[in-house]
């Protein structure tokens, strides 16, 4: 203690330390704070006595310990079977068998060989040959069973006869054709024949993977040569003719989370088509209200959509935008905004949750975001200075590199 005679501190005595500790323990007891061991000793319980749920018991609060983790020794086929599983194969076999029997009953003279219901191994073999044909391209399907030494591929004949392959192919069905609504019916659906297949894959996509924070919605094309009522022509795509598909994908790993086939302009309303597609993809992917960052191109981006996603869906969004969209600031969202002359020039406008920007690259780039503010970043560009090419850094809105980094999820998945 401090003495009256000297200012030098010589330390606490043991009695003072014990007194301070006693006062501290009294305060802990007063506020019901104490060592867990005191409670366990007094109650005669330990943490090993706490009852735990059995591994196979139901979890009423949704928590469980059954994580889906694929071991490192699994092959690509094991991952493929997560989606192309026995449930799907059984459904395909059932619908194919039903359709085959119906056709044989209605057209008994058009069947060259007796029909036998396919088994799961046989359907696996059938689809395996179909996938192989996508790798080993030949002018016609019949050539895969050719015995010509120049054309032959023995794996096909060893796996399945030509007659059996064409028989399964001709009867292959994914839905019950006897229940299909006819044109004019209020329940008529152009996608009826593939709807069960689409529903299965979309449900499985969500069960097997949780996307990262950054996601993207974009359109892609499934190449189709046959006559399809809703076949589209998109000259900017690698496959110009085919079926247009809206896709929601993870930006980081390009994992497809949801697929929505576009049935054509005559099947669905065209007003606010981009907005309705984005909202439908988010709702059916069960991502609403979870704070995801969505990236879209200028077909989808609009102030109305982004404000609605922010206010009602709990989704932040960023994308390039057409400068003539309704609701944008006209002083910077125009063909020739003032003060935007040189590469790197930029301007920002803010309204509520929305931030609109214009930035000069080789041409004007217009973006809209509820993710970003007026923060800036840098991009590297190849510049020609009197015939000498060099890379230079230019200031740009932070939304630009983030958009470039996260918008390619669907395109990468399509590769």
Give one DSSP letter per residue of 201-258, joined into a string: HHHHHHHH----SEEEEEEEEEE--S--TT-EE-TTSSS-EEEEEEEEEETTT--EEE
Q: How far apart (Å, rounded) are the C-alpha atoms in residues 308 and 213?
A: 19
The token pair that represents 50 in the structure block: 């706490």
- Is residue 259, in this structure, part of any structural domain at all? yes
| Single residue among 125, 156, 179 that ends a domain in this structure | 179
59 found inside a domain: no
How many of the other CB atoms lie within 10 Å of CB of 197? Answer: 16
271: which DSSP letter? T
Q: Is residue 310 part of a domain?
A: yes
- Same domain (yes/no): 362, 220: yes
Identify whether 48 is part of a domain. Answer: no
| Backbone angles phi and psi of 4, in degrees to 5 | -75, -25
In Å, what is the CA distance from 7 to each residue of 3, 369, 379? 7, 66, 65
3-class DSSP assignment, residue 159: helix
The pLDDT of residue 1 is: 45
**336 and 237: one domain?**
yes
Query: Quick one: 91 and 223 in the same domain?
Result: no
Count CA atoms within 13 Å of residue 330 on its CB side. 2
In 3D space, the residue among 365, 411, 118 whose CA is nearest the CA of residue 247 turns out to be: 411
Is 50 inside a domain boundary? no
Task: Determine contact, residues 251/215, Cβ cutoff 8 Å.
Answer: yes
Q: How many domains does the chain have?
A: 3
Range of the domain at 168: 76-179
DSSP notation for 118-138: PPHHHHHHHHHHHHHHHHS--
Query: Is 204 within a domain?
Result: no
What predicted TM-score, i.e. pTM, was given to this entire model?
Answer: 0.76
| Domain match, 222 and 347 both | yes
d(CA 197, CA 230): 18
pLDDT by residue for the chain (415 residues), tens digit each? 444 444 455 556 677 667 767 766 665 555 444 444 443 344 444 444 434 434 444 455 667 566 666 677 788 888 888 899 999 999 999 999 999 999 998 888 877 789 999 999 999 999 999 999 989 989 999 999 999 888 889 999 999 999 999 999 999 999 998 898 888 888 888 889 999 999 999 999 999 889 999 999 999 888 887 888 888 888 877 778 888 999 999 999 899 999 999 888 877 777 789 999 999 999 999 999 999 999 999 999 999 999 999 999 999 999 999 999 999 999 999 999 999 999 999 999 999 999 999 999 999 999 999 999 999 999 999 888 888 888 999 999 999 999 999 998 777 776 6
Instruction: Kindly give the pairing relationship between strand 214-223 and strand 293-296.
Output: parallel
Give the DSSP letter of residue 338: T
**What's the rounded Cα separation, in Å, for the pair 277 and 285?**
12
**Cβ 257 vs Cβ 250: under 8 Å:** yes
The residue out of 137, 161, 179 marking a domain boundary is 179
Contact 336, 360 (CB under 8 A): no
CB of 253 closer than 8 Å to CB of 210: no
Query: Would residue 214 count as lying in a domain?
Result: yes
3-state SS of 280-319 is: HHHHHCCCCCCCCEEEECCCCCCHHHHHHHHHHHCCEEEE
C-alpha of 28 from chain center: 52
pLDDT of residue 236: 79
What confidence score (pLDDT) does residue 12 get? Answer: 64
Reference 295, options 369, 189, 390, 395; nearest CA is 369
Q: Is the domain of 220 the same as that of 125?
A: no
Same-domain check for residues 28 and 80: no
pLDDT at res. 46: 42
Q: 164 Cβ partners below 8 Å, 6+ apart?
A: 113
Residues 318 and 266 in one domain: yes
Residue 232 pairs in a beta bridge with: 242
Strands 214-223 and 241-250: antiparallel
Q: Which residue has the tokens 């600031």?
A: 329
Which conformational region is residue 176 in: left (phi greater than 0), alpha (psi within -120 to 50 degrees), or beta?
beta
Q: Looking at the structure, do residues 224 and 359 belong to the same domain, yes or no? A: yes
Give dist(CA 28, CA 37) in Å, integer.
Answer: 14
The per-residue pLDDT for 267 is 72
The domain boundary residue, chosen from 157, 179, 201:
179
Whether 300 maps to a domain, the answer reads: yes
Tokens of 371: 């993710």
How far apart are alpha carbons 9 and 164 in whole angstroms? 100
Bridge partners of 350?
A: 355
In 10 A of CB 17, how many CB atoms? 11
Q: Where do we find the tokens 């993809």?
A: 281
Tallying the residues shown for the chain, one arrives at: 415
Residues 119 and 175 in one domain: yes
For residue 234 the two structure tokens come to 């998109």
379 in the same domain as 274 = yes
Answer yes or no: do 330 and 245 share one domain: yes
pLDDT value of position 307: 96
Of 359, 351, 349, 350, give the one whose Cα is nearest residue 404. Answer: 359
Do 99 and 171 have their domain in common? yes
């Amino acid at each position: 203690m401090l003495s009256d005679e000297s200012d030098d501190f010589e330390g606490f005595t043991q009695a003072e330390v014990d007194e301070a500790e006693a006062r501290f323990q009294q305060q802990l007891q007063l506020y019901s704070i104490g060592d867990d061991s005191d409670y366990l000793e007094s109650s005669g319980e330990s943490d090993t006595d706490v009852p735990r749920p059995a591994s196979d018991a139901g979890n009423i609060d949704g928590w469980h310990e059954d994580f889906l983790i694929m071991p490192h020794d699994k092959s690509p086929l094991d991952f493929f079977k997560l989606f192309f599983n026995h449930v799907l194969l059984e459904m395909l076999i059932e619908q194919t068998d039903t359709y085959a029997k119906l056709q044989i009953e209605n057209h008994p003279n058009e069947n060259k060989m007796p029909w036998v219901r396919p088994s799961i191994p046989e359907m696996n073999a059938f689809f395996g040959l179909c996938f192989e044909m996508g790798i080993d391209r030949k002018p016609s399907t019949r050539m895969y069973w050719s015995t010509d030494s120049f054309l032959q591929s023995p794996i096909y004949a060893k796996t399945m006869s030509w007659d059996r392959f064409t028989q399964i192919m001709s009867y292959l069905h994914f839905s019950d054709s006897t229940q299909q609504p006819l044109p004019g019916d209020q329940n008529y659906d152009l996608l009826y024949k593939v709807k069960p297949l689409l529903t299965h894959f979309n449900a499985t996509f969500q069960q097997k993977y949780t996307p990262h924070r950054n996601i993207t919605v974009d359109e892609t094309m499934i190449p189709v040569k046959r006559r399809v009522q809703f076949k589209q022509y998109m000259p900017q795509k690698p496959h110009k003719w085919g079926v247009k598909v809206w896709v929601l994908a993870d930006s980081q790993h390009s994992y497809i989370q949801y697929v929505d086939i576009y049935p054509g302009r005559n099947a669905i309303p065209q007003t606010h088509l981009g907005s309705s597609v984005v909202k439908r993809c988010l709702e059916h992917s069960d991502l609403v209200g979870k704070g995801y960052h969505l990236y879209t191109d200028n077909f989808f981006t609009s102030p109305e959509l982004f404000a609605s996603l922010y206010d009602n869906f709990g989704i932040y969004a960023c994308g390039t935008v057409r400068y003539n969209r309704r609701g944008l600031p006209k002083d910077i969202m125009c063909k020739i905004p003032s003060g935007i002359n040189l590469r790197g020039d930029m301007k920002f406008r803010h309204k509520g949750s929305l931030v609109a920007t214009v930035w000069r690259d080789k041409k004007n780039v217009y973006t809209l975001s509820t993710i970003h503010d007026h923060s800036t970043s840098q991009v590297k560009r190849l510049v020609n200075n009197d015939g000498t090419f060099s890379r230079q850094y230019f200031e740009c809105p932070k939304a630009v590199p983030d958009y470039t980094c996260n918008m390619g999820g669907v395109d990468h998945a399509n590769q």
